[in-house]
Amino acid sequence: MSLYITTPIYYVNAQPHLGHAYTTIVADTYSRFRRLCKEDVRFQTGTDEHGDKIAEAAAAAGIPPKEYADRISRLFQEAWPLLNIEPDTFIRTTDENHIRTVQAILQKVYDQGDIYLGSYSGLYCRGCERFLTEKELVNGKCPDHQAPPQPISESNYFFRMSRYQEWLIDHIKKNPEFITPEGYKNEVLSFLSEPLEDLCISRPKSRLDWGIPLPFDADFVTYVWFDALTNYISALGYPNREGDFGKFWPCDVHVIGKDILRFHTVYWPTFLMAAGIPLPEKVFAHGWWTVEGQKMSKSLANVVEPNMLIDKYGVDAIRYFLLREVPFGLDGDFSHSALIHRINSDLANDLGNLVSRSTAMLNKYFKGVLPTPLKESDIDTALKEKFIQQTGVVDEQMEALAFNKALQSIWELVSAANKYIDDSAPWALAKDEAQRERLGTVMYNLLEAVRLIGLLVTPFMPDTGVKICNILGIDSADRQLDEHDSWGLLQPGSSIEKAAPLFPRIEME
C-alpha cells in the first residue's frame, strides 16, 4: 500500500521555530510508523517562497528575493535532520518543476473558462496575503495581524470559486473525515453557509513581481496561495498523471495548522475540482502552541528555536513531549517545567528503568544470554496477550492520528512490563536453583516486551528505538512491526548487553 502525507510549506520570512517543528515532527512520526508497518510512504515538506511577505523581508535584508529565499530555505532543510525528521521530498516553490506545474494548471483552468479578468476594490491584508471582508475585521483591523488592511483597487484575474460551492458542501458532508477534527469541519461548513465569492488569483506585476507569471498574461503573477497549494502535486510530477502522481495521489493526509484551514478546505479543493484532479482524502488541522502561556512572537522574544531545545534536552525528549502532551488537534502550551516533568517521569522513570532493569537482570542471572522460554504461566499469557492486543490498538490510534493516545497505549505496555517484573520477582526466583527454568521464561518474556516497546517507540523517538534494538541485537531487517506473529521473535541464545541509562533525570532549575 502507498501513502502520502504532507506538511504545509513554510514561509521563508522566519526561521524554523517550535510551531513549524511540531507539524513536521507529526508528519515524520506518522510516516515512520507506516514504514515500520512496511508501507510505501511519501512524506513531503518544503518552503513557500513567493509573495508580498517574502519580497518585503528580502528588501528589509537588502538582498534579492531569491538569494534571501535560498538562505532561509536552507535553514529549514538543515533543521529537520537535527530533529530526526526525514522527509522524502523537500519542495521549494522556486523549483522549476513546481513553476511549470502551477502554470499548466492555471492554463487548463483558464482555457475551460474558470478564470476571468475583473476589477477589484477591497481591503487587503499583507499578513494574510488576501482580501478581507468587512465582517472579518475587528475594530477595523485584521484580527490575526492586528493591522488595518489597505484599500486597494486594481484589475485582476479571478477564479470562479463560487461555481463549486454547492459541490464542495456536498463533498464535505458526504466525506465526514475529509476535514478533521470535527470542530473544524463545522467551522468550514458554517463559512460555506454564506455565498462564496470568486477568488482573486493574480497580483499585477507593477505591485508585486516576486511570483510565478500567469501563463496567459505576462503583466501578472500568480496569487501566492494558488502557487503554494500546488506544491502538493508538483513534486509528484503533475501534469504527468503516471509515475509518482499516479502512485501517491490522492494524498492521504495534509497536516496543517488551524490558521490555514480555509486555504486547504475551500480554496484547494475547488482548484483541484476545476482542474479535474481528485481531492485529498483528509485535511487534519492541529492547534497552536503557546510558550509558557503566551503566544510566540518576535516582539515578546519568546520564539522557541528547536536547536536550543535539542542542545538542552535531546531530540527524542522533545519529540515525545510534543506528541504526548496535547491531544492532536487541540492547542497546547510549551513550558520547560512540563517538559522536564515528562522526561523524568515517563522517560527516565518508566521507560528508562524498564530497559535498565531488564537488561541488568539478564546480565546478572544469565550472563546476558537470552534463555529459551519454557512453560507458560497465567501471568505470562496475560502479558503476551496484552502486547498483541495493544499493538493493534496503537495501530488504530495512529490511523486516527491520535498520537497522544497511541503514546498512552504504549506506556500502558511499559507499565505492564514493569508490573510483570514486580509480580514475577526475578530476584526471588534467582535465589532458588529449582526455579531456574521459570527465571529463564520470565527473563525471555521481559526482554520480548522490551523489544516490542522499542519498536513501537521508534517512530516517536527514533534514536531511542535504535538504541533499544541495538541493545537487543535486533537485525535492521527485523526492525518492523508484523501484525501476525507479533510476540516471540527474539532469538533464544542471543547476547544482550546491559543498557546504559537511556534518559538521565533532569534537575529543575
Please identify every residue annotated as catalytic: 17, 20, 125, 128, 142, 145, 295, 298
Tell me the backbone φ, ψ of residue 155, rounded to 5 degrees. Answer: -80, 140
Q: For residues 347-375, b (16+ Cβ closer than 10 Å) or e, as one string?
A: bbebbbbbbbbbbebbbebbebebbebee
Dihedral angle over CA of 438, 444, 447, 448, nearest 10: -130
Tell me which long-range contacts 483-486 makes (C-beta under 8 A, separation of at least 24): 483/37, 483/391, 483/392, 483/395, 486/387, 486/388, 486/391, 486/452
Q: For ligand MSP, which is the closer residue by CB, 20 or 185?
A: 20
If you ran DSSP here, which 8-state letter would residue 211 be given? S
Among 229, 323, 469, 472, binds ligand MSP (CB under 6 A): 229
Give min distance, CB of 307 to ligand MSP, in A. Answer: 17
Q: For ligand MSP, which is the closer residue by CB, 260 or 413?
A: 260
Q: For ligand MSP, which is the closer residue by CB, 208 or 260?
A: 260
CB-based closest residue to ligand MSP: 257
If you ran DSSP here, which 8-state letter would residue 432 be given? -
DSSP E strands in 329-439: the ranges are 332-334
Kindly determine how many residues on this chain lie close enough to bind ligand MSP according to the rule CB under 6 A: 19
Tell me the backbone φ, ψ of residue 204, rounded to 5 degrees. Answer: -65, 140
Give min distance, CB of 83 to ligand MSP, in A. Answer: 14
Give min distance, CB of 331 to ligand MSP, in A. Answer: 8
Q: For ligand MSP, which is the closer residue by CB, 149 or 257?
A: 257
**For residue 83, how far is the Cα from the chain centroid?**
12
Q: For ligand MSP, which is the closer residue by CB, 91 or 490?
A: 91
Distances (CA, A) of 183 to 231, 405, 501: 27, 19, 42
- Site track for ligand MSP across 294-313, x = CB under 6 A: --x-----------------
Contacts of 308 (CB under 8 A, 6+ apart): none
Scan residues 314-373 and list those touching ligand MSP (CB under 6 A).
Answer: none
- Site track for ligand MSP across 433-472, x = CB under 6 A: ----------------------------------------
Q: Which DSSP helix (H) or strand (E) runs through 77?
A: helix 65-82
How far apart are the C-alpha atoms of 256 and 181, rounded to whole Å?
12
C-alpha grid cell for residue 181? Answer: 477534527
Which range of residues in 226-234, 433-441, 483-491, 498-506 is near ligand MSP by CB under 6 A? 226-234
- Site track for ligand MSP across 9-48, x = CB under 6 A: xxx-------xx-xx------------------------x
Scan residues 238-297 and list those touching ligand MSP (CB under 6 A).
Answer: 256-257, 259-260, 288-289, 296
Give min distance, CB of 408 to ligand MSP, in A. Answer: 21
Which range of residues in 227-235, 371-379, 383-391, 498-506 is near ligand MSP by CB under 6 A? 227-235
Give min distance, CB of 103 to ligand MSP, in A. Answer: 17
**Closest CA relative to residue 437, chosen from 363, 364, 367, 372:** 372
Give min distance, CB of 407 to ligand MSP, in A. Answer: 19
210 binds ligand MSP, rule: CB under 6 A: no
Q: For ligand MSP, which is the closer residue by CB, 289 or 460?
A: 289
Give min distance, CB of 350 to ligand MSP, in A. Answer: 27
Give min distance, CB of 296 to ligand MSP, in A. Answer: 5
Counted residue by residue, the chain has a size of 509
Scan residues 48-67 and list those touching ligand MSP (CB under 6 A).
Answer: 48
Dihedral angle over CA of 389, 394, 400, 402, nearest 10: 130
Q: Provide the terminal-to-terminal Cα distance of the chain, rounded to the nearest Å.
A: 48
Tell me the backbone φ, ψ of residue 5, rounded to 5 degrees. Answer: -130, 140
Cβ contact 335:292 at 8 Å:
yes
C-alpha grid cell for residue 304? Answer: 522557541
Q: For ligand MSP, which is the closer residue by CB, 228 or 449?
A: 228
Contacts of 242 (CB under 8 A, 6+ apart): none
Q: For ligand MSP, which is the closer residue by CB, 48 or 52?
A: 48
Residues in the site for ligand MSP, rule: CB under 6 A?
8-11, 19-20, 22-23, 48, 228-229, 231, 256-257, 259-260, 288-289, 296
